[in-house]
Chain A
Amino acid sequence: MHQLITFSLIILGLPMLSFLIIIFNQKRLQQKAHLVGLPIIGTALALAIYICYSKLSGIHETLNWSTKWISFGNVPGVGEWNITTGIMIDNLTSIMLVVVTLISFLVHLFSSKYMEGDIRYSRYFAYLGIFTFSMLGIVIGNNLFALYIFWELVGFSSYSLISHWYEKPGPQLASKKAFIVNRVGDVGMWTGLMLVFGTFHTFNFSDIFAAIHSGLPTNFSLLGLSPEATLTAAGVLIFCGAVGKSAQFPLHVWLPDAMEGPTPVSALIHAATMVAAGVYLVCRIFPMLTGDAMLVIALVGGLTSFIAATTALTQNDIKRVLAYSTVSQLGYMIMALGVGAFSAGFFHLTTHAMFKACLFLGSGSVIHAMHHSLHHLHDHHTDPQDMRNMGGLLKKMPITGYTFIIATLAISGIPLMSGFMSKDEILAGATAYSSLQGGIATLLPWVGFGVAMMTAFYMWRQVFMTFFGKPKMPEVYAHIHESPKAMVVPLIILAGLSFWVWYGANPIDPANGWFMKSWAETPAQIVPHNTAPAFAMHEGSSAKEVAGPAHEMSEHGKVAEKVELMPHQEMLEHKTHEVAGMGMIISILCAITGIALAWFMYLKNTALPDKIATMFAPLYRFSLNKWYFDELYEFAFVGSFMLFARMCSWFDTNIVDGAVNGVGKVTIVFSKLNGWFDKYIVDGLVNLTAGITQLIGSMFRSVQTGKIQTYLAWTMAGVVVVFAVLALKML
């Protein structure tokens, strides 16, 4: 076993250890639970950084370690059949390890103050531990089955953490919603998994890809589809899991509600790591995505980012704006993977994790300060999360404010920031794809740039409403204080990671930066040539044979990562380079327009937003009410489900119970008849017999007087009769 594999196993075990220690010592630890969690996650972070450094700097092949897990023995028609599980460490894994442990560590640190005095302080840290464990499990697994198990585990820990304050109805409902909506996606994912496993008899990523690359078997078919269409279906079905976990349309409704959980949880789970798991999943199955599946993924991502961005424009809750912004950015990442911009999508996942965690923790810091100020004033009615109650906080909370602004610069795509680099590459990729693909995909760059502008607008709207302008509630403002060190240090670290320098030397040329150039290279798509995007065939480059083997197994079982891209991928890359410069300029213009608009509406002319809201009242309400998705689902799914449940209930009470009651009634009538028969006929006969016996008995009883003289008289009478008879005979 390679040293790094051992280390990754230790990293996986550490958060579990933290969970076990805390969960079994809740009473003893109480408010000291972070003293267990912090050093353990810190160790994991240090190991993760070591793994990441060694992998990225020195090891070029994928580290793979497998062990037999479940053995089915010799299956007829299949042969020896085993499920193996194991660990795979490639660049993606090593980067994700650092992202997950880093954010988890900072959230632990932040929570130690933010959650201070909470009644379930230790439980909270225990669940942070099990969440980190599950997330790391997703990241290091080398097969879909293990990934699925950890996938459900993060769903469970997310559920437990959203419902941390389960006394309140909001978190209760939100946690259930999150869990159930995720299940909907997971059904699709599981179906996809079974489809793949049923044909290839393996869950292992590299084995699946190798099998697909060596030619699709003819029995690979779902509902009579051709093998090629089935491959598309498998890709889309597995992607359904990502739709649920990464809150893509139409299953995005759970994420904004999940903001009912504690804010650090939102930062860790619902912004930086768990929701990125869906994107990570698509990255993992990227080689087996067909052209059609990619188009579906790109459209879903684009639509999601658009819906979420338009909703975020009008929200007033500081966390809800961030939640919709997260959904929108996740849509961006999914769109990036759909258009084949693999590196850009994964790059955005990483940069987004940093600046969005910073934004969420920053909002947590603001809410913390607002909450304490309101608490100080004994005001329990004002909403500490409503931005309309804030304003001018930059002077009171400079560190929170400036880090928040840095992260906002990053998300709006201002040069020198990480978000600019990743977002720009996504937009370039989308533009390239749309010009090659044509059709409905031409909408994608428009959506991309429009969303970029809206993102800049609503994020700066948030900054201006929260940190600038006049305080809306002066008495609350007076008692606002900067948060303690444990809370601002994570903010500073995350804001620092939002600069360009970590991802590439040149801030305006991300494609040649080390992140995209060497860390997150696009893997080859090993799908059959006739399922690749259609444009690759029109160009005549189809004369070129199918790309060489994507994964050549070396003698050590290690998979070589040096790949030859498929023709359509090369075309996309060329096109992306062509449009990158133009895209960059438009993207900067969009961002600046958005920021200027926000400045004009929320600082310069503060009466304007209300005027616009009344002018476009229907549109405003449409956005404020989140496109009425909740109402639609309530009507279409919850309502019809309830109707169905009521129908079942009616059937149960009236038909089933009616039948049972009817049978009961018939039985009663029958038994009454039976009883009458028994009482009067059967018993009558018995009584009659007894009566006759009694009559006879009473007749004979009168003879038995008990007086010996009477007996003697009878005896004598008998003797006389006997003599009389004898005498008569003699005559």
Chain B
Amino acid sequence: MTIGLNHFLFIGAVLFVLGIFSMLYRRNVIAVLMGVELILNAANINFIAFSRYGGVNISGQMAAIFVIVVAAGEAAVALAIVLNIYKNFKSVNPAEVDTLRD
């Protein structure tokens, strides 16, 4: 059995689903951020896979590198938000941060 495109896509999907579930159910915002990273990397795997097996060639790798860069920025911003959330709510549990309701 040769490793083909579908295997990569499968791994990406698994990573994506893991990331989603991490975002939905973790009780710590840091963990939620980690879920976001998982989702981004699931997308990266798909870009790389299509770069190798599909017709997008080097563009896929470039997109992946962009995603990594953006993810770094995103992480910085997101962590700053997390710090502020903690300052305001004395908690990092996303279930308790519900002032958006009002």
1/0 contact trace for A496-510 toward B, CB 8 Å?
000000000000000
Query: Are B95 and A709 neighbours in the complex by a CB distance under 8 Å?
Result: yes
Query: Are A704 and B24 neighbours in the complex by a CB distance under 8 Å?
Result: no
The distance in angstroms between the C-alpha atoms of A706 and B25, with both chains bound, is 15
Query: Are B24 and A712 neighbours in the complex by a CB distance under 8 Å?
Result: yes
Interface size classification for chain A: under 10
Query: Are B94 and A706 neighbours in the complex by a CB distance under 8 Å?
Result: no
For B24, what are the chain A residues with a Cβ–Cβ distance below 8 Å? Answer: 709, 712-713, 716
Q: Is the C-beta of B13 less than 8 angstroms from some C-beta in chain A?
A: no
Q: Is the C-beta of A71 less than 8 angstroms from some C-beta in chain B?
A: no
Name which residue of chain B comes closest to A713, CB basis: B24
Q: Is the C-beta of A708 less than 8 angstroms from some C-beta in chain B?
A: yes
Query: Are A706 and B99 neighbours in the complex by a CB distance under 8 Å?
Result: yes
Q: Is the C-beta of A707 less than 8 angstroms from some C-beta in chain B?
A: yes
Assuming A713-B24, A716-B20, is B99 touching A707 (CB within 8 A)?
no
The distance in angstroms between the C-alpha atoms of A708 and B98, with both chains bound, is 8
The distance in angstroms between the C-alpha atoms of A438 and B11, with both chains bound, is 156
Q: Is the C-beta of B23 less than 8 angstroms from some C-beta in chain A?
A: yes
Query: Are B23 and A707 neighbours in the complex by a CB distance under 8 Å?
Result: no
The interface size of chain B toward A, counting residues with CB under 8 Å, comes to 13
Q: How far is the CB of B80 from chain A (nearest CB, A)?
A: 17
Quick one: which of A705, A709, A712 has the most chain B CB within 10 A? A709
The distance in angstroms between the C-alpha atoms of A44 and B95, with both chains bound, is 117
Query: Are B23 and A705 neighbours in the complex by a CB distance under 8 Å?
Result: no
Identify which of A705, A712, A713, A716 contacts B101 (C-beta below 8 A).
A705
Name which residue of chain A comes closest to B101, CB basis: A706
Q: Is the C-beta of B97 less than 8 angstroms from some C-beta in chain A?
A: yes
1/0 contact trace for B1-34 toward A, CB 8 Å?
0000000000000000000100111000000100
In A686-726, the 8 Å CB interface with B consists of 704-709, 712-713, 716
Q: How far is the CB of B9 from chain A (nearest CB, A)?
A: 15
In A389-426, the 8 Å CB interface with B consists of none
Q: How far is the CB of A711 from chain B (nearest CB, A)?
A: 8
Query: Are B97 and A708 neighbours in the complex by a CB distance under 8 Å?
Result: yes
Q: How far is the CB of A699 from chain B (nearest CB, A)?
A: 15
The distance in angstroms between the C-alpha atoms of A29 and B98, with both chains bound, is 96
Identify which of A708, A712, A716 contacts B100 (C-beta below 8 A).
A708
Quick one: which of B25, B32, B99, B101 has the most chain A CB within 10 A? B101
Q: How far is the CB of A560 from chain B (nearest CB, A)?
A: 116
The distance in angstroms between the C-alpha atoms of A716 and B35, with both chains bound, is 14
The distance in angstroms between the C-alpha atoms of A323 and B35, with both chains bound, is 129
The distance in angstroms between the C-alpha atoms of A474 and B22, with both chains bound, is 137
In B56-102, the 8 Å CB interface with A consists of 94-95, 97-102
The distance in angstroms between the C-alpha atoms of A38 and B95, with both chains bound, is 114
Q: How far is the CB of B18 from chain A (nearest CB, A)?
A: 13
Q: How far is the CB of B5 from chain A (nearest CB, A)?
A: 20
For A706, what are the chain B residues with a Cβ–Cβ distance below 8 Å? Answer: 97-102
Q: How far is the CB of A623 from chain B (nearest CB, A)?
A: 107
For A704, what are the chain B residues with a Cβ–Cβ distance below 8 Å? Answer: 101
Query: Are A712 and B23 neighbours in the complex by a CB distance under 8 Å?
Result: yes
Query: Are A708 and B101 neighbours in the complex by a CB distance under 8 Å?
Result: no
Name which residue of chain A comes closest to B21, CB basis: A716
For A705, what are the chain B residues with a Cβ–Cβ distance below 8 Å? Answer: 98, 101
Name which residue of chain B comes closest to A707, CB basis: B98
For B100, what are the chain A residues with a Cβ–Cβ distance below 8 Å? Answer: 706-708
Q: How far is the CB of B97 from chain A (nearest CB, A)?
A: 7
The distance in angstroms between the C-alpha atoms of A716 and B23, with both chains bound, is 11
Quick one: which of B25, B94, B99 has the most chain A CB within 10 A? B94
For B95, what are the chain A residues with a Cβ–Cβ distance below 8 Å? Answer: 707, 709
The distance in angstroms between the C-alpha atoms of A106 and B79, with both chains bound, is 123
Name which residue of chain A comes closest to B102, CB basis: A706
For B32, what are the chain A residues with a Cβ–Cβ distance below 8 Å? Answer: 709
Name which residue of chain A comes closest to B25, CB basis: A709
The distance in angstroms between the C-alpha atoms of A709 and B101, with both chains bound, is 13
For B102, what are the chain A residues with a Cβ–Cβ distance below 8 Å? Answer: 706
For B98, what are the chain A residues with a Cβ–Cβ distance below 8 Å? Answer: 705-707
Query: Are A708 and B94 neighbours in the complex by a CB distance under 8 Å?
Result: yes
Name which residue of chain B comes closest to A701, CB basis: B101
Q: How far is the CB of B16 from chain A (nearest CB, A)?
A: 11
The distance in angstroms between the C-alpha atoms of A704 and B94, with both chains bound, is 15
Q: How far is the CB of B7 from chain A (nearest CB, A)?
A: 21
For A709, what are the chain B residues with a Cβ–Cβ distance below 8 Å? Answer: 23-25, 32, 94-95
Q: How far is the CB of B39 from chain A (nearest CB, A)?
A: 11
Q: How far is the CB of B20 from chain A (nearest CB, A)?
A: 6
The distance in angstroms between the C-alpha atoms of A705 and B98, with both chains bound, is 7
For A716, what are the chain B residues with a Cβ–Cβ distance below 8 Å? Answer: 20, 24
The distance in angstroms between the C-alpha atoms of A353 and B83, with both chains bound, is 123
Q: List 9 A-B contacts (CB under 8 A).
A: A705-B101, A706-B100, A706-B101, A707-B97, A707-B100, A708-B97, A709-B94, A709-B95, A712-B23
- Please give me the 4 A-B residue pairs with the lowest Cβ-Cβ distance, nearest first: A706-B101, A706-B98, A706-B100, A707-B98
- Additional A-B contact list (20), CB under 8 Å, known A706-B99, A708-B100, A709-B23: A705-B98, A706-B98, A706-B101, A706-B102, A707-B95, A707-B97, A707-B98, A707-B100, A707-B101, A708-B94, A708-B97, A709-B25, A709-B32, A709-B94, A709-B95, A712-B23, A712-B24, A713-B24, A716-B20, A716-B24
